Amino acid sequence: MAEPEFTATGVRIGKRLRSLTRAGQVRINDGRLELLTSYGSEIDSAPVQAVRASKPWFAADDRALADLNGNRYLLTLGDHDPAPGEPGPPAARRFIEAVRRAAGRSG
């Protein structure tokens, strides 16, 4: 199996007002975005071309929105990239860039 293009652990994943997991995983692998629980069970996944990633208005810098399969998920990543070798989720900005890069979109 190839190395994932993007991986974030310790991500809070929510849908509407409900928290689905407080320590989930977000992966972009083989052209698919996967949202996983802390145990590795799949919450949702979709081809990265069908995913819309954005920054919510009036939200903290550690938040990103991911729209996939008709569902909107609020992802709470890090507000800044962790130091090299340190654990923690990458910045939300890096997640949005990774989705756009994997889908072949720029900007």
Domain count, the chain: 1
CATH code of the domain containing 91 = 2.30.29.30
- In tens, the pLDDT along 9-18 reads 999 999 988 9
> What's the pLDDT at 106?
59
pLDDT digits (tens, 9 = 90+) for 8-51: 999 999 998 899 999 999 999 999 999 999 999 999 999 999 99
As a whole number of angstroms, the distance between CA 81 and CA 71 comes to: 27
Rg (CA), the chain: 13
Separation between Cα atoms, residue 90 and residue 81, nearest integer Å: 5
pLDDT at 88: 64
Question: pTM score, two decimals?
Answer: 0.85
The Cβ of residue 72 has, within 10 Å, a number of other Cβ atoms equal to 14
72: containing domain: 4-104
For residues 29 and 21, is the Cβ–Cβ distance under 8 A?
Answer: no
pLDDT for 70: 96
The confidence score (pLDDT) of residue 58 equals 83
- The predicted model gives 76-98 an average pLDDT of 79
Q: Which two tokens stand for residue 80?
A: 């800044």
The pLDDT mean for the chain works out to: 88
Vertex 38 angle, CA 46 and 14, to 5° = 60
